[in-house]
Structure 1
Protein backbone atom coordinates (compact mmCIF):
# COMPACT_ATOMS: atom_id res chain seq x y z
CA UNK A 1 0.00 0.00 0.00
CA UNK A 2 1.41 3.36 -0.98
CA UNK A 3 2.20 5.84 1.78
CA UNK A 4 1.24 9.22 0.38
CA UNK A 5 -0.57 10.95 3.22
CA UNK A 6 0.60 8.98 6.21
CA UNK A 7 4.33 9.78 6.05
CA UNK A 8 6.72 10.55 8.82
CA UNK A 9 6.73 14.16 7.70
CA UNK A 10 3.10 14.44 8.74
CA UNK A 11 4.04 13.75 12.33
CA UNK A 12 5.89 17.02 12.72
CA UNK A 13 2.90 18.96 11.42
CA UNK A 14 -0.06 17.20 12.98
CA UNK A 15 -0.27 19.86 15.69
CA UNK A 16 -0.93 22.36 12.93
CA UNK A 17 -3.77 20.14 11.70
CA UNK A 18 -5.34 20.36 15.16
CA UNK A 19 -4.82 24.11 15.30
CA UNK A 20 -6.61 24.43 11.97
CA UNK A 21 -9.52 22.55 13.54
CA UNK A 22 -9.70 19.90 10.83
CA UNK A 23 -10.90 17.37 13.37
CA UNK A 24 -13.55 19.74 14.74
CA UNK A 25 -14.81 20.51 11.24
CA UNK A 26 -14.92 16.81 10.43
CA UNK A 27 -16.92 16.04 13.55
CA UNK A 28 -19.33 18.86 12.75
CA UNK A 29 -19.98 17.23 9.37
CA UNK A 30 -20.18 13.76 10.90
CA UNK A 31 -22.83 14.92 13.36
CA UNK A 32 -25.07 15.53 10.37
CA UNK A 33 -24.06 12.45 8.35
CA UNK A 34 -23.69 9.04 10.00
CA UNK A 35 -21.79 7.71 6.96
CA UNK A 36 -18.87 9.86 8.15
CA UNK A 37 -18.85 8.14 11.55
CA UNK A 38 -17.14 4.76 12.15
CA UNK A 39 -19.73 1.96 12.15
CA UNK A 40 -22.31 4.55 11.08
CA UNK A 41 -22.19 5.96 14.60
CA UNK A 42 -23.93 2.82 15.90
CA UNK A 43 -27.27 4.56 15.53
CA UNK A 44 -30.59 3.23 14.25
CA UNK A 45 -30.89 3.94 10.52
CA UNK A 46 -33.97 5.31 8.80
CA UNK A 47 -36.09 3.03 6.66
CA UNK A 48 -34.74 4.73 3.54
CA UNK A 49 -31.16 4.16 4.68
CA UNK A 50 -31.91 0.52 5.40
CA UNK A 51 -33.43 0.07 1.96
CA UNK A 52 -30.37 1.69 0.34
CA UNK A 53 -28.10 -0.61 2.34
CA UNK A 54 -29.99 -3.70 1.23
CA UNK A 55 -29.85 -2.63 -2.40
CA UNK A 56 -26.10 -1.99 -2.13
CA UNK A 57 -25.48 -5.37 -0.51
CA UNK A 58 -27.64 -7.16 -3.06
CA UNK A 59 -25.82 -5.57 -6.00
CA UNK A 60 -22.28 -6.07 -4.73
CA UNK A 61 -22.88 -9.62 -3.49
CA UNK A 62 -24.27 -10.55 -6.88
CA UNK A 63 -20.96 -9.40 -8.35
CA UNK A 64 -18.94 -11.30 -5.75
CA UNK A 65 -21.21 -14.35 -5.87
CA UNK A 66 -22.30 -14.01 -2.25
CA UNK A 67 -18.76 -13.76 -0.86
CA UNK A 68 -19.12 -11.10 1.84
CA UNK A 69 -15.43 -11.28 2.77
CA UNK A 70 -14.30 -10.53 -0.78
CA UNK A 71 -16.85 -7.75 -1.16
CA UNK A 72 -15.81 -6.22 2.16
CA UNK A 73 -12.14 -6.38 1.19
CA UNK A 74 -12.90 -4.59 -2.06
CA UNK A 75 -14.61 -1.78 -0.17
CA UNK A 76 -11.77 -1.37 2.33
CA UNK A 77 -9.22 -1.40 -0.52
CA UNK A 78 -11.25 1.30 -2.26
CA UNK A 79 -11.30 3.28 0.97
CA UNK A 80 -7.51 3.35 1.09
CA UNK A 81 -7.37 4.32 -2.58
CA UNK A 82 -9.58 7.34 -1.92
CA UNK A 83 -7.61 8.19 1.21
CA UNK A 84 -4.05 7.83 -0.10
CA UNK A 85 -4.36 8.56 -3.79
CA UNK A 86 -7.09 11.20 -3.77
CA UNK A 87 -7.06 12.64 -0.26
CA UNK A 88 -10.85 12.24 -0.21
CA UNK A 89 -11.56 11.51 3.44
CA UNK A 90 -15.35 11.54 3.12
CA UNK A 91 -15.54 8.95 0.34
CA UNK A 92 -12.86 6.89 2.08
CA UNK A 93 -14.90 6.81 5.31
CA UNK A 94 -18.00 5.77 3.39
CA UNK A 95 -16.14 2.90 1.73
CA UNK A 96 -14.73 1.76 5.09
CA UNK A 97 -18.25 1.84 6.52
CA UNK A 98 -19.51 -0.27 3.62
CA UNK A 99 -16.66 -2.72 4.30
CA UNK A 100 -17.79 -2.86 7.93
CA UNK A 101 -21.43 -3.32 6.95
CA UNK A 102 -20.55 -6.27 4.72
CA UNK A 103 -18.19 -7.85 7.24
CA UNK A 104 -17.87 -6.43 10.78
CA UNK A 105 -14.87 -8.76 11.26
CA UNK A 106 -12.83 -7.03 8.55
CA UNK A 107 -9.91 -5.55 10.52
CA UNK A 108 -9.01 -3.30 7.59
CA UNK A 109 -12.26 -1.39 8.06
CA UNK A 110 -11.11 -0.34 11.53
CA UNK A 111 -7.62 0.29 10.20
CA UNK A 112 -9.24 2.71 7.77
CA UNK A 113 -11.34 4.41 10.43
CA UNK A 114 -8.26 4.88 12.58
CA UNK A 115 -6.12 6.15 9.74
CA UNK A 116 -8.62 8.87 8.92
CA UNK A 117 -8.56 10.05 12.53
CA UNK A 118 -4.76 9.86 12.51
CA UNK A 119 -4.64 12.18 9.53
CA UNK A 120 -7.03 14.55 11.30
CA UNK A 121 -4.58 14.74 14.21
CA UNK A 122 -6.90 12.85 16.59
CA UNK A 123 -4.43 10.29 17.91
CA UNK A 124 -6.55 8.94 20.75
CA UNK A 125 -9.52 8.47 18.43
CA UNK A 126 -7.24 6.67 15.99
CA UNK A 127 -6.07 4.30 18.72
CA UNK A 128 -9.66 3.51 19.68
CA UNK A 129 -10.29 2.23 16.16
CA UNK A 130 -6.93 0.45 15.91
CA UNK A 131 -7.78 -1.36 19.16
CA UNK A 132 -10.95 -2.71 17.57
CA UNK A 133 -9.00 -3.87 14.54
CA UNK A 134 -6.40 -5.60 16.70
CA UNK A 135 -9.12 -7.42 18.62
CA UNK A 136 -10.01 -9.03 15.29
CA UNK A 137 -6.45 -9.51 14.03
CA UNK A 138 -3.76 -9.11 16.74
CA UNK A 139 -1.04 -9.70 14.13
CA UNK A 140 -2.15 -6.93 11.77
CA UNK A 141 1.28 -5.39 11.23
CA UNK A 142 0.07 -2.22 9.51
CA UNK A 143 -2.27 -1.40 12.38
CA UNK A 144 0.52 -2.07 14.85
CA UNK A 145 2.89 0.19 12.93
CA UNK A 146 0.43 3.05 12.77
CA UNK A 147 -0.54 2.49 16.40
CA UNK A 148 3.11 3.02 17.29
CA UNK A 149 3.20 6.03 14.99
CA UNK A 150 0.38 7.71 16.92
CA UNK A 151 2.59 7.71 20.01
CA UNK A 152 5.45 9.12 17.97
CA UNK A 153 3.05 11.83 16.85
CA UNK A 154 2.09 12.51 20.47
CA UNK A 155 5.81 12.69 21.30
CA UNK A 156 6.31 15.44 18.74
CA UNK A 157 3.26 17.15 20.17
CA UNK A 158 4.71 17.00 23.68
CA UNK A 159 7.82 18.76 22.40
CA UNK A 160 5.65 21.50 20.95
CA UNK A 161 3.53 22.18 24.00
CA UNK A 162 5.87 21.04 26.76
CA UNK A 163 3.28 18.62 28.11
CA UNK A 164 3.12 14.87 28.42
CA UNK A 165 5.54 12.16 29.43
CA UNK A 166 7.84 11.95 26.42
CA UNK A 167 9.70 8.92 27.82
CA UNK A 168 6.47 6.97 28.18
CA UNK A 169 5.29 7.99 24.70
CA UNK A 170 8.51 6.79 23.10
CA UNK A 171 8.35 3.55 25.05
CA UNK A 172 4.81 2.93 23.76
CA UNK A 173 5.83 3.75 20.21
CA UNK A 174 8.80 1.39 20.46
CA UNK A 175 6.57 -1.37 21.87
CA UNK A 176 4.08 -1.32 19.01
CA UNK A 177 6.68 -0.88 16.27
CA UNK A 178 8.72 -3.79 17.64
CA UNK A 179 5.59 -5.93 17.73
CA UNK A 180 4.76 -5.01 14.15
CA UNK A 181 8.26 -5.89 13.01
CA UNK A 182 7.91 -9.24 14.73
CA UNK A 183 5.01 -10.10 12.43
CA UNK A 184 6.36 -8.46 9.27
CA UNK A 185 10.12 -8.07 9.05
CA UNK A 186 10.02 -6.72 5.50
CA UNK A 187 8.02 -3.52 6.03
CA UNK A 188 10.52 -0.73 5.39
CA UNK A 189 8.06 1.84 6.76
CA UNK A 190 8.07 0.11 10.14
CA UNK A 191 11.85 -0.25 10.05
CA UNK A 192 12.38 3.44 9.29
CA UNK A 193 10.00 4.65 12.01
CA UNK A 194 11.59 2.28 14.51
CA UNK A 195 14.97 3.76 13.62
CA UNK A 196 13.65 7.19 14.54
CA UNK A 197 12.29 5.97 17.86
CA UNK A 198 15.54 4.16 18.67
CA UNK A 199 17.43 7.40 18.05
CA UNK A 200 15.22 9.33 20.46
CA UNK A 201 15.56 6.73 23.21
CA UNK A 202 19.34 6.72 22.80
CA UNK A 203 19.84 3.33 21.16
CA UNK A 204 22.16 4.65 18.47
CA UNK A 205 23.57 1.37 17.22
CA UNK A 206 20.09 -0.02 16.61
CA UNK A 207 18.91 3.24 15.05
CA UNK A 208 21.77 3.25 12.55
CA UNK A 209 21.33 -0.42 11.69
CA UNK A 210 17.62 0.08 11.07
CA UNK A 211 18.21 3.15 8.94
CA UNK A 212 20.76 1.28 6.86
CA UNK A 213 18.23 -1.49 6.34
CA UNK A 214 15.45 0.96 5.39
CA UNK A 215 17.73 2.63 2.83
CA UNK A 216 18.73 -0.72 1.39
CA UNK A 217 15.03 -1.43 0.94
CA UNK A 218 14.70 1.92 -0.90
CA UNK A 219 12.25 3.38 1.59
CA UNK A 220 11.05 6.62 -0.07
CA UNK A 221 10.45 8.41 3.24
CA UNK A 222 14.09 8.48 4.37
CA UNK A 223 15.17 12.11 4.53
CA UNK A 224 18.56 13.78 4.60
CA UNK A 225 17.44 15.77 7.62
CA UNK A 226 16.84 12.60 9.61
CA UNK A 227 20.20 11.14 8.64
CA UNK A 228 21.86 14.38 9.67
CA UNK A 229 20.04 14.42 13.01
CA UNK A 230 20.95 10.78 13.63
CA UNK A 231 24.61 11.42 12.90
CA UNK A 232 24.63 14.44 15.21
CA UNK A 233 22.92 12.63 18.08
CA UNK A 234 24.91 9.44 17.62
CA UNK A 235 28.48 10.58 16.99
Structure 2
Protein backbone atom coordinates (compact mmCIF):
# COMPACT_ATOMS: atom_id res chain seq x y z
CA UNK A 1 0.00 0.00 0.00
CA UNK A 2 1.35 3.40 -0.90
CA UNK A 3 2.14 5.91 1.81
CA UNK A 4 -0.75 8.07 2.97
CA UNK A 5 -0.13 11.77 2.42
CA UNK A 6 0.98 13.59 5.55
CA UNK A 7 -0.81 16.66 6.88
CA UNK A 8 1.99 18.96 5.72
CA UNK A 9 1.77 17.52 2.20
CA UNK A 10 -1.95 18.24 2.21
CA UNK A 11 -1.92 21.88 3.26
CA UNK A 12 1.50 23.40 2.54
CA UNK A 13 2.63 24.62 -0.84
CA UNK A 14 1.41 26.87 -3.62
CA UNK A 15 -1.80 26.62 -5.58
CA UNK A 16 -3.02 28.57 -8.57
CA UNK A 17 -6.81 28.97 -8.61
CA UNK A 18 -8.37 27.96 -11.92
CA UNK A 19 -10.82 30.61 -13.03
CA UNK A 20 -12.18 28.69 -16.01
CA UNK A 21 -14.98 26.29 -15.04
CA UNK A 22 -14.24 22.62 -15.72
CA UNK A 23 -17.48 22.36 -17.70
CA UNK A 24 -17.13 24.95 -20.44
CA UNK A 25 -20.56 24.90 -22.06
CA UNK A 26 -23.94 25.41 -20.42
CA UNK A 27 -26.11 22.33 -20.83
CA UNK A 28 -29.45 21.32 -19.39
CA UNK A 29 -27.94 18.65 -17.16
CA UNK A 30 -24.98 20.76 -16.10
CA UNK A 31 -24.48 20.99 -12.36
CA UNK A 32 -24.83 24.29 -10.55
CA UNK A 33 -21.50 23.51 -8.88
CA UNK A 34 -19.71 23.72 -12.22
CA UNK A 35 -19.93 27.50 -11.90
CA UNK A 36 -19.06 27.62 -8.22
CA UNK A 37 -16.78 30.60 -7.47
CA UNK A 38 -13.22 29.86 -6.42
CA UNK A 39 -12.39 29.99 -2.72
CA UNK A 40 -10.60 33.17 -1.62
CA UNK A 41 -8.92 31.73 1.48
CA UNK A 42 -5.35 32.91 2.00
CA UNK A 43 -4.30 29.43 3.08
CA UNK A 44 -2.93 27.22 0.32
CA UNK A 45 -2.75 23.55 -0.54
CA UNK A 46 -0.14 21.44 -2.27
CA UNK A 47 -0.11 20.03 -5.76
CA UNK A 48 -0.32 16.43 -4.57
CA UNK A 49 1.92 14.22 -6.69
CA UNK A 50 1.34 10.90 -4.99
CA UNK A 51 -1.79 9.10 -6.13
CA UNK A 52 -3.04 6.91 -3.31
CA UNK A 53 -4.91 3.96 -4.80
CA UNK A 54 -6.96 3.00 -1.76
CA UNK A 55 -10.12 3.77 0.15
CA UNK A 56 -9.06 7.41 0.49
CA UNK A 57 -10.14 7.85 -3.13
CA UNK A 58 -13.61 6.40 -2.55
CA UNK A 59 -16.48 8.55 -1.22
CA UNK A 60 -16.56 8.54 2.60
CA UNK A 61 -13.49 6.28 2.60
CA UNK A 62 -15.49 3.47 1.03
CA UNK A 63 -17.95 3.40 3.94
CA UNK A 64 -16.30 0.23 5.20
CA UNK A 65 -14.53 -0.95 8.35
CA UNK A 66 -11.28 0.88 9.08
CA UNK A 67 -7.87 -0.76 9.20
CA UNK A 68 -5.44 -0.08 12.04
CA UNK A 69 -3.35 1.96 9.62
CA UNK A 70 -6.34 4.09 8.68
CA UNK A 71 -7.33 4.66 12.31
CA UNK A 72 -3.78 5.78 13.11
CA UNK A 73 -3.87 8.12 10.12
CA UNK A 74 -7.14 9.66 11.31
CA UNK A 75 -5.82 10.21 14.84
CA UNK A 76 -2.65 11.89 13.57
CA UNK A 77 -4.48 13.94 10.96
CA UNK A 78 -7.10 15.24 13.40
CA UNK A 79 -4.42 16.01 15.97
CA UNK A 80 -2.43 18.09 13.49
CA UNK A 81 -5.56 19.88 12.31
CA UNK A 82 -6.38 20.75 15.92
CA UNK A 83 -2.98 22.44 16.14
CA UNK A 84 -3.30 24.33 12.86
CA UNK A 85 -6.92 25.51 12.80
CA UNK A 86 -9.18 27.33 15.23
CA UNK A 87 -11.59 24.40 15.22
CA UNK A 88 -12.45 21.34 13.16
CA UNK A 89 -15.35 23.05 11.41
CA UNK A 90 -12.93 25.64 10.03
CA UNK A 91 -10.52 22.90 8.97
CA UNK A 92 -13.36 21.04 7.27
CA UNK A 93 -14.31 24.14 5.28
CA UNK A 94 -10.67 24.54 4.25
CA UNK A 95 -10.39 21.01 2.89
CA UNK A 96 -13.77 21.12 1.15
CA UNK A 97 -12.66 24.35 -0.56
CA UNK A 98 -9.54 22.53 -1.77
CA UNK A 99 -11.82 19.78 -3.05
CA UNK A 100 -13.76 22.22 -5.22
CA UNK A 101 -10.52 23.63 -6.60
CA UNK A 102 -9.29 20.19 -7.63
CA UNK A 103 -12.71 19.48 -9.11
CA UNK A 104 -12.42 22.56 -11.30
CA UNK A 105 -9.05 21.23 -12.47
CA UNK A 106 -10.63 17.91 -13.33
CA UNK A 107 -8.59 15.99 -10.75
CA UNK A 108 -11.43 13.85 -9.42
CA UNK A 109 -9.34 11.54 -7.24
CA UNK A 110 -7.61 14.34 -5.34
CA UNK A 111 -10.91 16.20 -5.03
CA UNK A 112 -12.52 13.07 -3.56
CA UNK A 113 -9.69 12.73 -1.04
CA UNK A 114 -10.03 16.36 0.06
CA UNK A 115 -13.80 16.02 0.50
CA UNK A 116 -13.23 12.85 2.52
CA UNK A 117 -10.84 14.72 4.80
CA UNK A 118 -13.40 17.50 5.19
CA UNK A 119 -15.99 14.87 6.13
CA UNK A 120 -13.61 13.33 8.67
CA UNK A 121 -13.26 16.73 10.33
CA UNK A 122 -16.97 17.58 10.31
CA UNK A 123 -19.59 15.08 9.17
CA UNK A 124 -22.20 17.84 9.30
CA UNK A 125 -20.49 19.85 6.59
CA UNK A 126 -22.94 19.55 3.68
CA UNK A 127 -20.25 20.76 1.29
CA UNK A 128 -18.46 17.40 1.69
CA UNK A 129 -21.45 15.46 0.42
CA UNK A 130 -22.17 18.00 -2.33
CA UNK A 131 -18.61 17.73 -3.57
CA UNK A 132 -18.56 13.94 -3.35
CA UNK A 133 -21.84 13.86 -5.25
CA UNK A 134 -20.31 15.87 -8.07
CA UNK A 135 -17.23 13.60 -8.08
CA UNK A 136 -19.45 10.52 -8.37
CA UNK A 137 -21.48 12.19 -11.12
CA UNK A 138 -18.37 13.04 -13.11
CA UNK A 139 -17.20 9.43 -12.77
CA UNK A 140 -20.54 8.21 -14.09
CA UNK A 141 -21.70 6.71 -10.78
CA UNK A 142 -25.19 8.21 -10.76
CA UNK A 143 -26.61 6.13 -7.91
CA UNK A 144 -23.74 7.11 -5.61
CA UNK A 145 -24.01 10.72 -6.78
CA UNK A 146 -27.69 10.81 -5.88
CA UNK A 147 -27.01 9.23 -2.49
CA UNK A 148 -24.23 11.69 -1.62
CA UNK A 149 -26.24 14.71 -2.74
CA UNK A 150 -29.24 13.54 -0.75
CA UNK A 151 -27.06 13.26 2.37
CA UNK A 152 -25.95 16.84 1.80
CA UNK A 153 -29.51 18.06 1.27
CA UNK A 154 -30.60 16.33 4.47
CA UNK A 155 -28.03 18.43 6.34
CA UNK A 156 -28.66 21.71 4.51
CA UNK A 157 -32.06 21.90 2.84
CA UNK A 158 -31.60 25.62 2.08
CA UNK A 159 -28.61 25.28 -0.28
CA UNK A 160 -30.20 26.02 -3.65
CA UNK A 161 -27.19 24.90 -5.68
CA UNK A 162 -27.07 21.57 -3.89
CA UNK A 163 -30.82 21.07 -4.29
CA UNK A 164 -30.67 21.80 -8.02
CA UNK A 165 -27.81 19.35 -8.47
CA UNK A 166 -29.79 16.64 -6.67
CA UNK A 167 -32.83 17.36 -8.85
CA UNK A 168 -30.56 17.21 -11.92
CA UNK A 169 -29.48 13.67 -11.04
CA UNK A 170 -33.11 12.72 -10.39
CA UNK A 171 -34.05 13.96 -13.87
CA UNK A 172 -31.19 12.06 -15.49
CA UNK A 173 -32.19 8.91 -13.61
CA UNK A 174 -35.80 9.35 -14.71
CA UNK A 175 -34.77 9.69 -18.35
CA UNK A 176 -32.88 6.39 -18.04
CA UNK A 177 -35.24 4.37 -15.85
CA UNK A 178 -38.65 6.03 -16.30
CA UNK A 179 -39.22 5.51 -12.57
CA UNK A 180 -41.88 8.05 -11.65
CA UNK A 181 -40.65 8.61 -8.09
CA UNK A 182 -37.50 10.25 -9.50
CA UNK A 183 -39.71 12.81 -11.24
CA UNK A 184 -41.81 13.34 -8.12
CA UNK A 185 -38.73 13.96 -5.98
CA UNK A 186 -37.21 16.29 -8.57
CA UNK A 187 -40.42 18.33 -8.61
CA UNK A 188 -40.54 18.60 -4.82
CA UNK A 189 -36.90 19.66 -4.69
CA UNK A 190 -37.19 22.23 -7.48
CA UNK A 191 -40.33 23.78 -6.03
CA UNK A 192 -38.50 24.22 -2.74
CA UNK A 193 -35.48 25.66 -4.55
CA UNK A 194 -37.65 28.16 -6.44
CA UNK A 195 -39.14 29.38 -3.16
CA UNK A 196 -35.67 29.81 -1.70
CA UNK A 197 -34.37 31.66 -4.76
CA UNK A 198 -36.96 32.92 -7.22
CA UNK A 199 -34.23 34.49 -9.37
CA UNK A 200 -32.25 31.31 -10.07
CA UNK A 201 -32.14 30.71 -13.82
CA UNK A 202 -30.91 27.16 -13.30
CA UNK A 203 -33.94 26.30 -11.17
CA UNK A 204 -36.28 27.35 -13.99
CA UNK A 205 -34.20 25.49 -16.57
CA UNK A 206 -34.54 22.26 -14.58
CA UNK A 207 -38.25 22.97 -14.05
CA UNK A 208 -38.55 23.26 -17.83
CA UNK A 209 -36.93 19.83 -18.24
CA UNK A 210 -39.21 18.46 -15.53
CA UNK A 211 -42.37 19.72 -17.25
CA UNK A 212 -41.07 18.38 -20.57
CA UNK A 213 -40.80 14.88 -19.09
CA UNK A 214 -44.32 15.26 -17.66
CA UNK A 215 -45.64 16.20 -21.09
CA UNK A 216 -46.62 19.71 -19.97
CA UNK A 217 -45.07 21.54 -22.90
CA UNK A 218 -46.69 24.93 -22.23
CA UNK A 219 -45.24 24.90 -18.72
CA UNK A 220 -41.90 23.75 -20.12
CA UNK A 221 -41.84 26.76 -22.45
CA UNK A 222 -42.92 29.13 -19.67
CA UNK A 223 -40.03 28.01 -17.47
CA UNK A 224 -37.60 28.11 -20.38
CA UNK A 225 -38.52 31.73 -21.06
CA UNK A 226 -37.98 32.54 -17.38
CA UNK A 227 -34.52 31.02 -17.78
CA UNK A 228 -33.93 33.16 -20.88
CA UNK A 229 -34.87 36.37 -19.10
CA UNK A 230 -32.65 35.60 -16.12
CA UNK A 231 -29.61 34.18 -17.94
CA UNK A 232 -29.78 33.63 -21.69
CA UNK A 233 -26.35 31.99 -21.72
CA UNK A 234 -27.76 29.11 -19.70
CA UNK A 235 -30.13 28.03 -22.48
CA UNK A 236 -29.53 24.55 -23.87
CA UNK A 237 -30.34 24.63 -27.57
CA UNK A 238 -30.34 20.85 -27.91
CA UNK A 239 -33.09 20.66 -25.29
CA UNK A 240 -34.86 23.53 -27.01
CA UNK A 241 -34.92 21.55 -30.27
CA UNK A 242 -36.47 18.61 -28.41
CA UNK A 243 -39.11 20.92 -26.98
CA UNK A 244 -39.79 22.51 -30.37
CA UNK A 245 -40.34 19.04 -31.79
CA UNK A 246 -43.15 18.60 -29.27
CA UNK A 247 -44.68 22.08 -29.44
CA UNK A 248 -43.94 25.43 -31.05
CA UNK A 249 -42.82 28.28 -28.82
CA UNK A 250 -46.07 29.99 -27.67
CA UNK A 251 -44.23 33.33 -27.63
CA UNK A 252 -42.83 32.81 -31.12
CA UNK A 253 -39.30 33.75 -30.08
CA UNK A 254 -37.73 30.42 -30.92
CA UNK A 255 -38.42 28.23 -33.92
CA UNK A 256 -36.76 25.51 -35.94
CA UNK A 257 -35.52 28.32 -38.20
CA UNK A 258 -33.40 29.89 -35.39
Match of 1:19 in 2: none
Within the candidate set 68, 74, 91, 1:50 is matched to 74
Q: Deviations over 1:7-31 (max 9, x none)?
A: 64668xxxxxxxxxxxxxxxxx99x
* Structure 2, unaligned runs of 5 or more: 1-18, 31-50, 249-258
Q: Which moved more, 1:46-55 or 1:210-219?
A: 46-55
Paired residue secondary structure (2:168): helix
* Structure 1, unaligned runs of 5 or more: 12-28, 158-163
Question: How many residue pairs were aligned?
Answer: 206
| Structure with max Cα Rg | 2
How far residue 206 of structure 1 moved from its aligned partner, in angstroms, is 2.2
Cα distance in 2 between the residues matched to 1:56 and 1:212: 52
Paired residue secondary structure (2:234): coil
TM-score w.r.t. length of structure 1: 0.74
Cα distance in 2 between the residues matched to 1:60 and 1:172: 41
Is 1:138 aligned to 2:157, yes or no? yes
Match of 2:184 in 1: 171
Change (3 A) 1:4 1:171: farther
Cα distance in 2 between the residues matched to 1:10 and 1:205: 20
RMSD: 2.9
Is 1:70 aligned to 2:96, yes or no? no
Match of 2:175 in 1: 156
How far residue 109 of structure 1 moved from its aligned partner, in angstroms, is 0.4
Is 1:234 aligned to 2:247, yes or no? yes
CA contact (8 A) 1:8 1:193 kept: no
Match of 1:22 in 2: none
TM-score w.r.t. length of structure 2: 0.68
Change (3 A) 1:133 1:194: same
Cα distance in 2 between the residues matched to 1:168 and 1:112: 24
More helix by share: 1
CA contact (8 A) 1:5 1:87 kept: no
Change (3 A) 1:227 1:135: closer
- Counterparts of 1:182-201 in structure 2 under 5 Å? 182-201=195-214
